[in-house]
Amino acid sequence: MTPTGAPTGWDLELDCRGMRCPAPIIELARHFSEVSVGGLVAVVATDVAARVDVPAWCRMRGQEYAGESAADDGTPAYVVRRVS
């Protein structure tokens, strides 16, 4: 996990490359409270299940799925906005 600056636009990057389901979601749940309300968390994951799992986690937790982006190396980044 790496705090990031302006180039990506998110407040916290969770490096979940190489982790298999459900590890990226577990990492998201574990570190989500580290970001202030209104902040963005990017789950950078190579596991294809994250594309479905992150938006589902947002629906279940009442958080906003802000869409898919990419990390600096092109790895998919699934972005969540903390709303509560």
Is residue 4 domain-resident? Answer: no
Residue 26 belongs to what domain range?
12-81
Per-residue pLDDT band at 6 (split at 50, 70, 90):
very low
What is the predicted pLDDT for the residue at 40?
A: 98
Report the predicted TM-score, pTM, of the whole model to 2 decimal places: 0.90
Question: Domain containing 18 — which CATH number?
Answer: 3.30.110.40
Is residue 1 domain-resident? Answer: no
Is residue 2 domain-resident? Answer: no
Residue 5 scores a pLDDT above 90: no
Is residue 21 domain-resident? Answer: yes
Number of domains in the chain: 1
23-63 pLDDT per residue, tens: 999 999 999 999 999 999 999 999 999 999 999 999 999 99
Check if the beta carbon of residue 14 is closer than 8 Å to that of residue 25. no
Residue 3 scores a pLDDT above 60: no
Tokens of 39: 């902040």
Tokens of 11: 């407040």
